[in-house]
Structures are given as C-alpha cells and as structure tokens.
Amino acid sequence: MKEYAIAVLEGDGIGPEIMREAVKVLEAVSAKAGVRFNLLKMPFGGQAYFNYGHAFPGETIAACDKADAILKGPIGLGVEEARRIPVEKQPERSALLPLRKRYNTFANYRPVYLPPELADFSPLKREIVKDGIDFVMIRELIGGLYFGGKEEGTDQNGLRYVKETLEYDEQEIAQILEVAFEEARRRKKVLHNVHKSNVLMSSVLWNDVSREIAVQYPDVEVRHVIVDAAAAALVLNPRQFDVMVMENMFGDILSDLAGGLVGSLGLMPSACVGPEKAYYEPAHGSAPDIAGRGIANPYSMIGSVALMLEKSFGMEEEAGRIWAAMRRVFAEGATTADLGNPDGTRTVVSTAEFGDRVVAALDA
Ligand code: NAD
C-alpha cells in the first residue's frame, strides 16, 4: 500500500474547525484509494506561540522537513490578541513567511471557481456571472515587498520613518512566469500578466522577462494589464480571465478580491509549490470574527486537500472526485452561513455538516 506522510498544521481561529472536515474527507479518500496517509498533527501559529513560545516550533519544522506534503490551516490572531505578542514573533512574520522561505514555495496557485449553477453566490449582477467564474491566479510567494529588507528609525528631523524594499531578480521572476505559462498552456492559452510598470521599476524588469519567456510559448497569448485596471476588470468582467500571474503583494490583494467575486473567501483554496516540497492552505485568514461557532465554510480547506492530492501525490482522479462531491453538496441545495441563502431555497449547514455531506457525496 502506498503511504504518504502529511504534516497537519491546524493553525488558529477557524483553522481547527475546517481542518477537522478536511481530514474527514482525506480519510474517506484514503479508504477508497487504498493509500495510507500518516498525519502528523503539529503546532503552528499564534496558539503555538502561546503554548510553546514559538509560532513555528522546532518539532514542527522537523515534522515538515520529513513530510511528503504539508496541509496548513489559516493562522493569525485578532488585533487585540496579536498585541500580546512582540511584533517580530507574531505568527505571520515568525511562522508563515519562514515556512514559505524554508521550502522555497514560490508558486502559489489560487483557483477561483464558481460553476454556473452556483452563480447566485456571487454578489455580481446575474448577467455578468450567469456562465460561472473559472480562472486561476498565480501569485509569486517568496519575494517582493513582503520579504525585502526592512528598516525603521527616527530621521534627522525627529520624525519616525519606515523603509521596506521591493526586490526581485530576473531568475525569481522567470521561475514564476514559467509556472504561469505552463498553466496557461494546459488551459485556454491566454495569460494575463499583471504589473505596474508605469510606476514600479520591478514591474519593468518583470515585463521584460515576460517577453523573453514568451518566445518559448508561441502558443500562449500574453495580455499585459496594469494592476489597478485589473482590479476593476475582475469585477466588471471576470470571465475574460483564465490564468493571471502577478508579484506577491498584488496577488495577496487581488486574490481576496477574487474571493469576493465568488461570494466568500471560504471558497478559496490554494497550493504553495516549491521545487521539492509543497504546502496547501486556504487563501484566507483565521477569521477570528466567526471562530468557535461551527459556521466556517470548510470548502477552502477541503479544496486544499484536493490540490494536494493532485499536485503532490499525482492522485488527479481522487482530487476530481472531491471537487465533484463539493459541487454536488451545493447543487443539492446546501449552503454555508458565509454564502447566505441567496434564493431562499437553500439549507444552511454547519462546518461539520458540510464535511459530512461531502463524505456522503464521495460515497454516492
Ligand atoms: P480573514 O481572511 O481571516 O477574514 C476575512 C473575512 O472573511 C471575515 O469576515 C471572515 O469571517 C471571512 N472568512 C474567511 N474565511 C472564511 C471561511 N472559511 N468561512 C466563512 N467566512 C470566512 O481576514 P482577517 O480577518 O483580515 O485576518 C484574520 C487573521 O488571519 C489575521 O491575523 C491575518 O494576518 C491572518 N491571515 C492569515 C493568512 C494565512 O494563514 N495564510 C492569510 C490571510 C490572513
């Protein structure tokens, strides 16, 4: 029997609630596929800091190093709780960014998908979304402003200042663009390159590299779009997009906008892929505003399991069954609280009930 070791980092806030459902689904797949998943549940995030003094403890690092893949729930604390932790030890800075750097997970895939029969979950007008939404955002994940040098102090006028650096070299740009061109080649062969070259020198280099790489992909049409215009275009006509590629901070912001387009961040899974290891996480945060109430939407976490099966273990068929099962649960009239009950005919189900229904749909 095939065996895979998976480091399971439930994280903070709604993390444990949605991870429970993801593990349920993974176990259901395991039984059917005849594959054993050895799950190593490890502390990571704000709670790990409070319990062990570090948001990314040494034992968790060791387990992640050994694992074949990492399944990660969202981390992060509410504003007031976060203030109990020194800034440099807060979970995003001392756990999330180090995780990404350690495994060089430069390629972040964020599928944005809403089938036509679920178009009413979108806040956009019916005529814009009636045929559904289906594109993928590819975000550079380990460079740019979030990872550049940082400096703060007081200047000669006595004013506090801060300086953060946005840095990319051509190799870092090329590797993410190659991922995006490959994805475009697999899909509809149209790639939107999102940039800000009218202002940022980093985007000028980014676009130069994109032209050089495009030569190897004559079958892929590249359309360049400025990031601010891309934000408007996403709302006005999301169907024009199929694969989008962008630097780290643009992707952070635009992918939350995409979550809004499909009706909730709870519909946003993601894959963070490096040359040797990948980890899988919802694109959203720990949602402290709804944590502990059993109402979070676990689609993003279960979808991250599907991405893991597909990208880390080559289990495309099982991944396809999970997507189909989740679609079926919605199609049969269920909804979660975040998506509401737009046409008044749906049954609002809890986090756990959504997971149970997905398992039942897998068995059907
Ligand atoms: P958030 O993404 O946690 O929540 C934004 C809104 O979306 C909230 O109203 C929340 O209830 C809702 N939401 C998110 N996921 C949902 C789900 N699965 N089901 C139903 N509703 C859902 O953003 P925030 O509140 O700004 O951030 C909370 C914390 O998460 C912060 O500490 C932030 O730094 C952290 N964060 C972590 C990650 C990560 O772990 N990769 C990513 C983003 C934010």
Residue-wise pLDDT tens digits, 218-270: 999 999 999 999 999 999 999 999 999 999 999 999 999 999 999 999 999 99
Indicate the range of 76-80, 175-179, 255-259 predicted with least confidence: 76-80
> Which long-range contacts link 221-225 to residues 24+ away (Cβ below 8 Å)?
221/189, 221/190, 221/191, 222/191, 222/193, 223/190, 223/191, 223/192, 223/193, 224/192, 224/193, 224/195, 225/192, 225/193, 225/194, 225/195
**288 C-alpha to center of ligand 1: Å?**
7
Does ligand 1 lie within 6 Å of residue 301's CB atom? no
Which residue has its alpha carbon closest to ligand 1 atom 5?
A: 287
Ligand 1 pocket member 80 (CB < 6 A):
no
Q: Kindly indicate the confidence band of residue 159, based on its pLDDT and cuts at 50, 70 and 90.
A: very high
Ligand 1, atom 15, residue with closest C-alpha: 266
266 in ligand 1 pocket by Cβ < 6 Å? yes
pLDDT band at 343 (very low <50, low <70, confident <90, very high): confident
Q: Which amino acid is at 36?
A: R
Q: Is 356 a catalytic residue?
A: no
Atom 22, ligand 1: which residue's CA is nearest? 266
What pLDDT, in 10s, does the model give residues 277-318?
A: 999 999 999 999 999 999 999 999 999 999 999 999 999 999
| 363 counts as catalytic | no
Q: Is the pLDDT of residue 339 over 90?
A: yes
User: Where in the chain are all domains bearing CATH 3.40.50.2300?
Assistant: 143-262
Which pLDDT value is given to residue 342?
Answer: 79
Q: By C-alpha distance, which of 285, 338, 343 is closest to 14?
A: 285
- Ligand 1 site, residue 96, Cβ cutoff 6 A: yes
Residue nearest to atom 44 of ligand 1 (CA): 285
Atom of ligand 1 nearest to the CA of 82: 32
Helix (H) or strand (E) holding 47, with range, is helix 46-52
Residue 68 appears among annotated catalytic residues: no
Catalytic one among 196, 217, 277, 338?
A: 196
Percent of the chain whose predicted confidence (pLDDT) is above 90: 96
Residues in the chain: 364
DSSP labels, 167-213: ---HHHHHHHHHHHHHHHHHTTSEEEEEE-TTT-HHHHHHHHHHHHH
Ligand 1 within 6 A of CB of 297: yes
State yes or no: pLDDT of 11 exceeds 90: yes
pLDDT tens per residue across span 194-225: 999 999 999 999 999 999 999 999 999 999 99
Determine whether the shortest distance from the Cβ of 77 to ligand 1 is under 6 A.
yes
Q: Where along the chain do the CATH 3.40.718.10 domains lie?
A: 1-122+265-364
Q: What is the CATH number of domain 1-122+265-364?
A: 3.40.718.10
> How many angstroms separate the alpha carbon of residue 312 from the centre of ligand 1?
25
* Spatial distance between the Cα atoms of 275 and 83, rounded to a whole number of angstroms: 35
Read off the pTM. Answer: 0.97
Cα of 133 from ligand 1 centre, angstroms: 22
113 is catalytic: no
Hey, what CATH class is 143-262 in? Answer: alpha beta
- Ligand 1 within 6 A of CB of 284: yes
Q: Which residues pair with 348 in a beta bridge?
A: 335
The reply to whether ligand 1 has any atom less than 6 angstroms from the CB of 290 is yes
284 CA to centre of ligand 1 in angstroms: 5
Nearest CA to ligand 1 atom 37: 285
Average pLDDT over residues 121-137: 97
Q: pLDDT band for 357, please (50, 70, 90 cuts).
A: very high
pLDDT at residue 22 in the model: 98
Res. 363 pLDDT band, cuts 50 70 90: confident
Separation of CA 166 and ligand 1 centre (Å):
25
